Structure 1
Amino acid sequence: MKSTIEELGPTRVRMAIEVPWGDLDHAFAEVYKELRNQVRIPGFRPGKVPNRVIDTRIGRPVVLEQVVQHAVPEVYSEVVRENQVRVLGQPDIEVTRLDDNDTLAFTAEVDVAPKVELPPLDGLAVTVDDVEVTDEEIDQQISVMRERFGMLTAVERAAQDGDFVSIDLEATLDGEVLEDGSTTGMSYEVGSGNLMQGLDDAVRGLSADESATFQTALLQGPNAGESADVTVTVRSVKTKELPELDDEFASTASEFDTLEELRDDVRTRLARTKVLQQGAQARDKLVEHLIETVEVPIPEKLVEREIEWRNQAMQNELQQAGMDWDAFLQMSGVESREAYEAEQRTNIEEAVRTQFILDAIADAREVTVDNDDLSAQVMAQAQRNRMSPEQYAQQLQQGGNIAEFVADVRRTKTLAQLLEQTTITDASGNVVDLEALRPRTVPAPAAGAADDAGTPDDDATGEPDLGDAEPEDATEDGLGGDAADQSPEVAGPTVGPTTDDDGDAAVDPAVDTAAPDADAADGTAAR
């Protein structure tokens, strides 16, 4: 087999591959075996039809077409593996020569990971905000606590902002009550603005057993975007009485005996939160610095494919919610579909650049991923998604996302190592110690657990099982995944392209994600 690889650009190559006829024996055997089980020819038992008879009855061109469909994916994957091509997505295949009993030749154009030239990465420094907790912030937190312990008391007056009203609602369109368009006894805080547009204006000034009608745009359902008439009837008006801010309140609302102790605790908690935010800010600023200083060509088809995938996913979600794009954009406060997609494109491009840069750094520093890394990340992601580690690992396996997950863990580890070597100071010039930001809720697995993973005893310990995933996958496959996963689907002699298919500082702000936009970064380049 002969193959050449031509660079068409920084992110695209063309492979020209010639396959001697003898190398197609396996493909021919598979094709004839399948056809024997499909055709029924008088005089021959099922599965016993000779090859020459199949050629005659079905036609040699049909046989050759199916041989091409069997052979091209295998040959393409072999060339990718042998040449260590980091392919992105599926190739465009064109059969250029098919001489019976001689040669099969085809070309494969495919996007590839760009070659990234890294600048010196020593002496990196970022500046983050100071950790400063103000009295106003403490007052705000305690105010929230007071709200939780407030008591509702009925009043004989018209409703005003801050009151809690019990209301009945009925929505009609062209005089007909909408399906699921009525409700009774709903509790609502006047002035909160969190139910529907126009409701607050309608309710203000109403006393018990008084009604008002207003118009509002429907955001969901088959009539989304249309204006409906909504009648609101106030059944009761209540005001919230807050407890006195004293030691008695502190002992009721917390484990502390005095208000001063409670305020000190709130200050400590706020400071901890801001330290965590410092870690996340340092991470994001480091990523921003890398994006600004490292030139990374972006495969346009990769970006377009990701935009298409996300738009389709959003379309499915909107349909399930009974909404259309206009209602979604209005609810999101986005001016237009064009503005939405422009912001989406920017986020995707930044996420892809981040992935390429971190992969290049990981390659240069020979970063590897071990079982402890995988287990810790599985546990962290499972905790974030409120499921068991075993459930999360199973979800990865069923979705065929293990290679992407391993690659992303490698990027996360690379960013964490780079962050450890970065000088981080706050706005006042104080050095920030990232050791205070290490996760405490995700323990490392016990010694020896990884070696025995998969046995019934170890399954009982909660060690997640990633099946046949190997840590080395991250260093070998990077963005492209296993070459076998990149096999094209062949549809006749000429092959067209096919398409295959979320940082939370509270977990680990130092190493939580490989990009500021977690949603955009997760598996974008591997899709």
Structure 2
Amino acid sequence: MQVQLETLGSLERRMNIALPMDAIDAQVTERLKRAARNAKIQGFRPGKAPMKIVEMNYGPQIREEVLGEQVQQGFYRAVSEQKLRVAGYPRFEPQLDQSEPGSFKFAATFEIYPEVALGELAGKEVEKPVTPVTDAEIDKTVDILRKQRTRYVRVEREARDGDRVIIDFKGSIDGVLFDGGSSENFPFVLGQGQMLADFETGVRGMKEDEVKTVEVKFPEDYHGKDVAGKTASFELTLKNVAEAVLPEVDAEFAKLLGVADGDVTKMRDEIKKNVEREVKRRLQARAKENVMQALLDVTSVELPKALVELEVGRLQDKARQDLEARGMKVKDLPFPAELFDEQARRRVSLGLIISELVAVNKLDAKPEQVKALVAEFAESYEDPEEVINWYFASPERLDGPTSMVIEDNVVEFVLGRANVVEKALAFDELMGSQA
């Protein structure tokens, strides 16, 4: 095999390769013999057709298959010998000049991975959010859990904010009922913005069995285009007013949350553990994002086009799957590559930087780290041991935890070398967003 390497650009290469034809012909002949043993050709019993007839029927396909395999094998053998790291997939083309006897010549055009020179982290400011978990935060969480278990009790008074009301309503514009403007036995909680402000204002203060007509102005940007910007008249009939009753923080409430003996102190301890676990996860996610941005800021990387295109394709596929999971039809929906280009470039850049950082500084995941992370996952389940056994029953199930440990190692490494600035983050702000 003869190999000639050309440099087309900083990352782009072309490799001209000549494969010996005798090896290709030998492979073709061997496969034709195997095919002849069971070949079904009209006019001959299976396996009894002459080799020339077999070659006429199967030869072109077999030769094409062998050439494809030999080209692939020859390319990757040459790449290994040249110690090149191929980024993405090569483009193979047979050379026009096949005049040289005894060889098949082709060219492979491809990109290689760039050299990554990690930037200087010393002096780079990285923000690390900090959120303490105090009794006040536990109290807030208990209140949320109580509200999730709210029950409503019928009352004989006027409706006010926080009440659940059940109403009949008919909406009309210029005296004509419109689609979606009428309903019976419709429940909603007053004062939570579930209905338009004018509508809620009309219901507020009504009593059971009261009938009332209110004018409701639809916003210009209302999702229903037929009524957007228009004023409708609604005839309301209030059928039920129910007051919110939250459970007391007592033994029964503790049992509802899974504390078998109803011990309220145990319940608060469990809530605190869960809150601390979630706060830790969200703080780590925010710190990780800041660390990744710092790595991008200090390290310049030339990106192989092939890797960016592959990542764009993955992001497009994920977007399609996400929309399909929500019940949307996306068969003919366009997903322009430029919409995903910036995100793809960021992901590829970070992949290259982190890979180099891990290799240079030996930040690979250690078995004990993976085991500890899996144990942490398992803590929130009823039977932690069962979860741990599930993860360790199959090596591929540990891929996710292993990647997370590597990322944690990278974050710890960067924070240990950068100028870390701690920033207090309010509990509500942290928990109010998905980290």
TM-score by shorter chain over 0.5: yes
In the TM superposition, residue 360 of structure 1 has moved relative to its aligned partner by 0.9
Alpha-carbon deviations, 1:87-120, whole Å to 9, x = none? 3433222121556972222222234332211235
The counterpart of 1:290, out of the listed 264, 287, 295, is: 295
C-alpha contact 1:193 1:200 (8 A) present in aligned 2: no
Amino acid at match of 2:199: D
Structure-to-structure mapping, 1:366-381, within 5 angstroms:
366-368=362-364
Structure 2 residue 320 is the aligned partner of structure 1 residue 299: no
In the TM superposition, residue 307 of structure 1 has moved relative to its aligned partner by 2.8
Amino acid at match of 1:418: F
Structure 2 residue 245 is the aligned partner of structure 1 residue 237: no
Higher relative contact order (CA 8 A, sep 6+): 1
Aligned equivalent of 2:174: none
Structure-to-structure mapping, 1:139-158, within 5 angstroms:
140-148=140-148, 150-156=150-156
The counterpart of 1:418, out of the listed 413, 416, 422, is: 413
In 1, Cα distance between the equivalents of 2:31 and 2:379? 48
- For residues 417 and 2 of structure 1, do their structure 2 counterparts lie closer, same or farther at Cα, with a shift above 3 Å needed? farther
Give the secondary-structure state (helix, strand or coil) at the position aligned to 2:8.
strand
C-alpha contact 1:164 1:189 (8 A) present in aligned 2: yes
- For residues 390 and 130 of structure 1, do their structure 2 counterparts lie closer, same or farther at Cα, with a shift above 3 Å needed? closer
Amino acid at match of 1:355: G
Structure 2 residue 54 is the aligned partner of structure 1 residue 42: no
In the TM superposition, residue 70 of structure 1 has moved relative to its aligned partner by 3.2
Aligned equivalent of 2:68: 69
In 2, Cα distance between the equivalents of 1:322 and 1:169? 30
Alpha-carbon deviations, 1:198-244, whole Å to 9, x = none? 59937951765769999999xxxxxx98769999986532121457x
C-alpha contact 2:164 2:187 (8 A) present in aligned 1: yes
In 2, Cα distance between the equivalents of 1:292 and 1:140? 38
Alpha-carbon deviations, 1:303-347, whole Å to 9, x = none? 33333333344334434533368xx9xxxxxxxx98x964x4333
In 2, Cα distance between the equivalents of 1:269 and 1:391? 22
Aligned equivalent of 1:363: 359
Amino acid at match of 1:22: D
TM-score (norm 2): 0.65
Which entry has the higher C-alpha Rg, 1 or 2?
Answer: 2
In 1, Cα distance between the equivalents of 2:306 and 2:251? 61
C-alpha contact 1:203 1:232 (8 A) present in aligned 2: no
Alpha-carbon deviations, 1:381-403, whole Å to 9, x = none? 89999995677789996xxx99x
Give the secondary-structure state (helix, strand or coil) at the position aligned to 2:292.
helix
Gaps of 5+ in 2: 172-176, 255-261, 425-429
Amino acid at match of 1:113: Y
In the TM superposition, residue 39 of structure 1 has moved relative to its aligned partner by 4.9
Aligned equivalent of 1:434: none
Alpha-carbon deviations, 1:404-428, whole Å to 9, x = none? 8699468436515624744675548
- For residues 357 and 380 of structure 1, do their structure 2 counterparts lie closer, same or farther at Cα, with a shift above 3 Å needed? farther
In the TM superposition, residue 355 of structure 1 has moved relative to its aligned partner by 1.0
In 2, Cα distance between the equivalents of 1:227 and 1:377? 54
In 2, Cα distance between the equivalents of 1:99 and 1:35? 30
Gaps of 5+ in 1: 218-223, 329-336, 430-504, 507-516, 519-527
- For residues 269 and 176 of structure 1, do their structure 2 counterparts lie closer, same or farther at Cα, with a shift above 3 Å needed? closer
Taking only the aligned residue pairs, the percentage that are identical comes to 22
Amino acid at match of 2:294: H
Alpha-carbon deviations, 1:32-69, whole Å to 9, x = none? 257534551535x43454554434x3486555333323
- For residues 358 and 28 of structure 1, do their structure 2 counterparts lie closer, same or farther at Cα, with a shift above 3 Å needed? same
Structure-to-structure mapping, 1:5-154, within 5 angstroms:
5-25=5-25, 27-29=27-29, 31-32=31-32, 35-36=35-36, 37-40=38-41, 42-43=43-44, 45-49=45-49, 51-55=51-55, 57-58=56-57, 63-96=62-95, 102-120=102-120, 126-132=126-132, 140-148=140-148, 150-154=150-154
TM-score (norm 1): 0.55
